[in-house]
Amino acid sequence: EAGVTQFPSHSVIEKGQTVTLRCDPISGHDNLYWYRRVMGKEIKFLLHFVKESKQDESGMPNNRFLAERTGGTYSTLKVQPAELEDSGVYFCASRHSETEAFFGQGTRLTVV
């Protein structure tokens, strides 16, 4: 069974540019989550999808971040325009019902 896949694995962009991260969850997992780890800090929750609906987006930092999950399959997280403080590792996770969450390998975003 394929795991959670994220790409790109690394992205370096200039301040003010736009970046889109993609996450392909495990097939059949209705729940999809985005998390972020900023250097030196803990992994923090950003938002939660159930199928194509946003269940909880309380962790989204500001309106420069836009997450979508069209058709309830893969998800994208767009940052527009990117700022220096957006640098970090973005993780996606998926789970089925009340089981544990499985994480992808992460996308390391560097804004210069």
Partner 1 sequence: EDQVTQSPEALRLQEGESSSLNCSYTVSGLRGLFWYRQDPGKGPEFLFTLYSAGEEKEKERLKATLTKKESFLHITAPKPEDSATYLCAVRGGADGLTFGKGTHLIIQP
Q: Which residues bind partner 1 (CB under 8 A)?
A: 4, 31, 33, 35, 41-48, 55-56, 58-59, 91, 93, 100-106
CB 108 within 8 A of CB 10: yes
Residue (17 or 22) nearer to partner 1, CB: 22
Q: How far apart are CA 101 and CA 18, in angstroms?
A: 28
Strands 102-103 and 88-95: antiparallel
Residue of 46, 104, 103, 101 whose CA lies nearest to 77: 46
In whole angstroms, give the CA distance from residue 104 to residue 36.
12
How far is Cα 94 from Cα 23, in angstroms, rounded to an integer?
10
